[in-house]
Amino acid sequence: MKDLSKNYINGQWVNWAGDTIDVHEAGTGEVIAKVPASGREEMEQAIAAADDAFATWSESTLEQRIKVLEQLHAGLKERAGEIAETVCREVGMPIKLATGIQAGLPATITKTYLNMLPDFPFSEQSGNSEVQYAPVGVVGCITPWNYPLHQVILKVVPAIAAGCTVVLKPSEIAPQSAYILAEILDGSDLPKGVFNLVCGEGHTVGDTLIKHPDVNMVSFTGSTRTGNLIAHAAADDFKRIALEMGGKSASVILPDADLAAAVKGTVNNCLLNSGQTCTALTRMLVPAEQHDEACELAAAAVAKMTPGNPLEETTRLGPLASAQQRDKVIDYIKLGIEEGHTLVAGGPEAPEGCDKGYFVKATVFGNVKPDSRLAQEEIFGPVLCVIPYNDEAEAIRIANGTQYGLSGAVWSADADKAKRVASKLRTGQVFVNGGAFNPMAPFGGFGHSGIGREFGKWGLEEFLEVRSLQL
Mapped onto helix, strand or coil, the DSSP state of residue 9 is strand
What's the rounded Cα separation, in Å, for the pair 277 and 350? 21
**Strand runs (DSSP E) across 73-216, as ranges?**
123-126, 129-135, 138-142, 165-169, 195-197
What's the rounded Cα separation, in Å, for the pair 328 and 243? 23
User: What pairing do the DSSP bridges indicate for beta strands 12-15 and 6-9?
Assistant: antiparallel
Going by C-beta distance under 8 Å and a sequence separation of 6 or more, which residues neighbour residue 399? 250, 252, 283, 285, 408, 425, 427
278 is catalytic: yes
What's the rounded Cα separation, in Å, for the pair 63 and 56? 14
199 is catalytic: no
Q: Which of 244, 378, 454, 462 is the catalytic position? A: 244
> What is the DSSP code (8-state) at residue 206?
I
- How far is residue 1 CA from its own chain's centroid? 27
Sheet holding 281-287, edge to edge: 342-345, 363-366, 383-389, 281-287, 249-253, 408-411, 431-432
What's the rounded Cα separation, in Å, for the pair 332 and 348? 9
Q: Which of 164, 278, 295, 385 is the catalytic position? A: 278
Residues with active-site annotation:
244, 278
